[in-house]
Structure 1
Amino acid sequence: MRKAPTILHLDMDAFYASAEQASKPSLRGKAVVVGGLGPRGVVATASYEARVFGVHSAMPMGQARRLAPNAAYLVPRFGLYKAISEQVMGLLRELSPLVEPLSLDEAFVDLEAGGAAWDEASARLVGARLRADIRAVTGLTGSVGLAASKMLAKIASEQAKPDGLVVIEPGTER
């Protein structure tokens, strides 16, 4: 077991919808739903503003339209999302040579793989700096979890949502 919380999990917040809001200022602060717009379409992601109305990922688009009729409904622009993802993954590779992308908007990073010595305070600082760098480079937010295992780091990032940082120190798990 690791002695410091050196597994980092990053999960970008409402990634596709947030990317659309960042690229189109008129959408900022508004309910945005991204997904298939046809009769059998499914929500890929919803902005936090749309989630207030009960819209969520994997929901049939027809149901989303009933819940949030005034939201902006958009088809995915994977080229945009891939470009932003490459920027974010580049920031992660600056932290460690061992980056494990799970999708365009989610990855694990093994901070110990870089060879530096780590403690809870330095890991927390890296997590905070990463969040600030992501915001500066992309205009988007991400949630960061740090722990001694992948499973706990993922749980920590879920607890950090949206736009937060949660550290689970080894030995404090319950």
Structure 2
Amino acid sequence: MRSLPSIIHLDMDAFFAAVEQAAKPSLRGKPVIVGGLGGRGVVSTASYEARKFGVHSAMPMAQARRLCPNAAFLAGRFEAYRSNSEIVMGLLRELSPLVQPLSLDEAFVDLEAGPYGPALAQADHETGERLVLALAEDLRADIHLRTGLTGSVGAAGSKLMAKIASEQAKPNGLVLVEPGQERAVLGPMPVRALPGIGPATEQVLRRAGLTT
């Protein structure tokens, strides 16, 4: 575990839907659902406005139409998503050559491997955390300036905690977990909140008496 929260996890907010809203002002503030429009189609991404109606990724599109009939249903424009992703990933690589993309809209970044690594190595705890926060805030601002999109950032001493922090930051926020505070953050969380824990594993853990 690192002594500074120098690993960040960026997760763009409702990425496909947000790209559509940024490109077409009439969609802003309205429910947007992107996915397969055929009879067996599923939801790829739902805007936050659509999520208020219970729509979520991987839901059958027919169910999404019942829950949110007045939404804009779009098949998706993957070239537009890819071009926006390239802009975002380029901004991440300005922070460090060590960028681990997980998808078009999600990546880990190791700040210690980048141009700010020497400053982080020499910084005391408080100064280092302030620098990480400043870099993360600048990243979010640059992404919005270049794409019109928002992203949530988690910063921590490990990839696991950075990802959990970015989930807590959603939407359009920043959460930093200080190294040494992992137990306090994880303790109250349900096991299902941990990355990689699905329904089946959750049930196994529950039977073993593990719920948090």
With normalisation by structure 1, the TM-score equals: 0.99
Instruction: Describe the SS at the equivalent of 2:107.
Output: strand
Task: Provide Cα deviations, 1:94-153, integer angstroms capped at 9, x if missing partner.
Answer: 000111100000000000012323211100111111111111010000000000000000
Return the structure number with greater relative CO, CA threshold 8 A, min gap 6. 1
Paired residue total: 174
Q: Partner of 1:88 in structure 2?
A: 88
Would you identify which runs of 4 or more consecutive aligned residues in structure 1 move more than 3 Å?
none
Q: Could you list the runs of 5+ residues in structure 2 that have no partner in the other structure?
A: 121-127, 184-212
| 2:119 counterpart of 1:117 | yes
The structure whose Rg is larger is 2
Greater Cα offset, 53-62 or 107-116: 107-116
Q: Could you list the runs of 5+ residues in structure 1 that have no partner in the other structure?
A: none
Partner amino acid, structure 2, of 1:166 = V
CA RMSD of aligned residues (A): 0.6
Q: Partner of 2:158 in structure 1?
A: 149
Which structure features the higher share of helix residues?
2
With normalisation by structure 2, the TM-score equals: 0.81
Distance 1:74 1:94 in 2: 33
Q: Pairwise mapping of residues 97-116 of structure 1 onto structure 2 (< 5 A)?
A: 97-114=97-114, 115-116=117-118
Instruction: Describe the SS at the equivalent of 1:2.
Output: coil
Distance 1:153 1:126 in 2: 15
Partner amino acid, structure 2, of 1:3 = S
Q: Partner of 1:133 in structure 2?
A: 142
Identity %: 72
Distance 1:116 1:156 in 2: 25
Q: Partner of 2:3 in structure 1?
A: 3
